[in-house]
Amino acid sequence: MIALLAPGQGAQSPGMLAAWLELPGADERIGRWSEAAGLDLRRLGTTADADEIKDTAVTQPLVVALSLLVFEQLSRRVQLPAGLVAAGHSVGELAAAAIAGALSTDDAVALAAARGREMAAACALEPTAMAAVLGGNEDEVLARLAELGLDPANRNATGQIVAAGPAAAIDELEARPPAGTRVTRLAVAGAFHTRFMTPAREALAARAAHVNVTDPRYTLLSNADGAAVTGGSRVLARLVAQVTAPVRWDACMAALRERGVTAAIEFPPGRTLTGMIKRELKGMTTLAIKQPEDLDKAVDLVSMRTVGSPA
């Protein structure tokens, strides 16, 4: 069984679209999604600098658009197996929902743009921040976050928890971290996946009310708990709720193991998800697609797993 993974915010890099626009139909697709997003994704993905594309309102639709562009290119080259699993990290879950067939790609990019705009606006309301807490005892880390009024916004893997909340509390966490940990402040606009994003969640819910959804044709794992989401309306509800809820990528990885997934392909611009899988799920075959030439490797991997070759 094979999993297709979509990365989240933070995976972007300047010029990340350039090589992909040379592929058949890619430039036209990005033009269409630019209209859906209300942004010039072509320019943002080719000539914009790092500062411009780290803006939450830009990053989210840009990352989702690139993942879906490459997914469509892969789908043209190989028949995807019926037992496919799709999962995405944070905003990447919108791409995963489209990969699973619950949303159209146009709607996924448009929702990513609305999500990014509204989260950026929510971040401007008061000073909040996020920081990665690496290592230490999990119970002690969570207790320290609770003491400071911080939320575990992301629980990515063993020894990787992202704290989020008031900027002053993040300052205190950096100054006095839990025993045996290393705290690294993240270059993000604010406390994503916490109560501070409530205005964004409400605005996204209003936008999502006009989106058509269907039941996924492939297994779609939820960031909330790693469970498969089977109904289209439930998919949309979870995508909206995710804005203020913690990302449990650790639970998604556990679900991949439990479902017998033997190979995982991560779409660009990321490779963080496959990196975590390498560390957590020993023996699973992984491929992070970075350049167009990697599509041939992905086709080979999908073909091999589809005909039932051994893991």
pTM of the model: 0.94
Distance CA 140, CA 241 (A): 27
Q: List phi, psi (to 5°) of 4.
A: -110, 130
pLDDT in tens, 244-290: 999 999 999 999 999 999 999 999 998 899 999 999 999 999 999 99
What per-residue confidence (pLDDT) applies to 308?
A: 44
Which pLDDT does position 74 carry in this prediction? Answer: 97
Domains of the chain: residue spans and CATH:
2-123+194-306 (3.40.366.10), 128-185 (3.30.70.250)
SS3 annotation, the chain: CEEEEECCCCCCCCCCCHHHHHCCCHHHHHHHHHHHHCCCHHHHCCCCCHHHHCCHHHHHHHHHHHHHHHHHHHHHHCCCCCCCEEEECCCHHHHHHHHCCCCCHHHHHHHHHHHHHHHHHHHCCCCEEEEEEEECCHHHHHHHHHHHCCEEEEEEECCEEEEEEEHHHHHHHHHCCCCCEEEEECCCCCCCCCHHHHHHHHHHHHHHCCCCCCCCCCEEECCCCCCECCCHHHHHHHHHHCCCCCECHHHHHHHHHHCCCCEEEECCCCCHHHHHHHHHCCCCEEEECCCCCHHHHHHHHHHHHHCCCCC
Residues of the chain with pLDDT below 50 are: 307-311
Region of residue 237 (phi > 0: left; psi between -120 and 50: alpha; otherwise: beta): alpha
Catalytically active residues, by annotation: 90, 193
Q: What is the pLDDT of residue 306?
A: 63
